[in-house]
Amino acid sequence: MSGCFITFEGVEGVGKSTQLGLLEDRLVSDGFDVVVTREPGGTPLAEQMRALVLHNRSEPMPDAAELMLMFAARAVHTENLIRPALERGAIVLCDRYTDATYAYQGGGRGIADRLIDPLVELAQRGLWPALTILLDAPVGPSLERAKARTGKTDRIESETLAFFERVRDRYRARAAAEPGRIQVVDATGSREAVAARIQTLIRPILGR
Ligand code: TMP
């Protein structure tokens, strides 16, 4: 596969989408073929699955169903969008991928890795990002920012502060275990300062 797969991770409100947009602008102006996408979602079918898993409704969603919907959406997205884009040589910038599942369904909900691992195998058939940028900042202010932005919360955003602390802890633990792929970026400070940190990480990956 000749393209380059880069993912952005972090808790809600940490600035992922802003930074992803800034990087997209930069890469497009440098002449790269860039595809921007997100999870859960990214294709019409996977976006329908996103609505299923994130919308608030009165009937409870068991954690197992949430986990499997994330992977159903991921299988669709990986096969129908990410792989074809990489095969034609594009840079794929994806807002969240499998690290989010280990952080939210693993760290947040408490589902064991041994139950998640086989679904990873099935849904993405070995496709992992070349680089994952983990935007890291204290959870409290990040969540406040996310809530102020949208004005309403989806099913997962309505979780407690303790849930998001576990999510952040799991993200950081994954970064410590895979320092080659997952780069932690301090997401505090101006958006220009954070963008400059990300540029420094991207340059060697795209040095071709
Ligand atoms: P976002 O597009 O605002 O980041 O919302 C996606 C939500 O879905 C966010 O709360 C994180 C959550 N999520 C999971 O719980 N597991 C996953 O595997 C993915 C991709 C997202």
Quick one: pLDDT at residue 34? Answer: 98
Predicted confidence at residue 1, as pLDDT, reads 67
Mean pLDDT for 66-95 is 98
- Give tens-digit pLDDT for 13-55: 999 999 999 999 999 999 999 999 999 999 999 999 999 999 9
C-beta of residue 85 within 8 angstroms of C-beta of residue 132: no
205: CB partners within 8 A, 6+ apart: 4, 6, 130, 131
Q: Coil, strand or helix: which one is 117?
A: helix
Mean pLDDT of the chain: 95
Whether 85 shows a pLDDT value over 70: the answer reads yes
Q: CA angle, corner 48, sides to 77 and 161, nearest 5?
A: 90
Cα–Cα distance measured from residue 129 to residue 187, given in angstroms and rounded to the nearest whole number: 20
φ, ψ of residue 171 to 5 degrees: the values are: -60, -45
Residue 70 tokens read as 């994330």
Is the pLDDT score of 208 beyond 60?
A: no
Residue 55 has which token pair? 């919308």
More confident residue, 195 or 157: 195
On the 0-12 / 13-18 / 19+ scale of CB atoms within 10 A, 62 is: exposed
Q: What is the pLDDT of residue 65?
A: 98
**Test site for ligand 1: of 54, 69, 70, 96, most ligand atoms within 8 A of the Cβ:** 96
Dihedral pair phi/psi, residue 94, rounded to 5°: -120, 125
Residue 138 has pLDDT above 70, yes or no: yes
Test site for ligand 1: of 54, 156, 166, most ligand atoms within 8 A of the Cβ: 156
CA–centroid distance, 55 to ligand 1, in Å, is: 12
Ligand 1 pocket: which residues have CB below 6 Å?
A: 12, 38-40, 70, 96, 100-101, 104-105, 156-157
> Which fold would CATH assign to domain 4-206?
Rossmann fold (3.40.50)
**Dist. CA 109 → ligand 1 center (Å):** 13
pLDDT of 104 over the 80 cut: yes
Query: pLDDT tens for residues 140-190?
Result: 999 998 988 877 789 998 899 999 999 999 999 999 999 999 999 999 999
Mutational pocket test of ligand 1: of 104, 117, 119, the residue with most ligand atoms within 8 Å of the beta carbon: 104
Spacing, Cα 40 to ligand 1 middle (Å): 6
Euclidean distance between CA atoms 167 and 194, whole angstroms: 21
The ranges assigned to domains in the chain are 4-206
- Write out pLDDT tens, residues 108-133: 999 999 999 999 999 999 999 999 99
How far apart are alpha carbons 102 and 108 in whole angstroms? 8
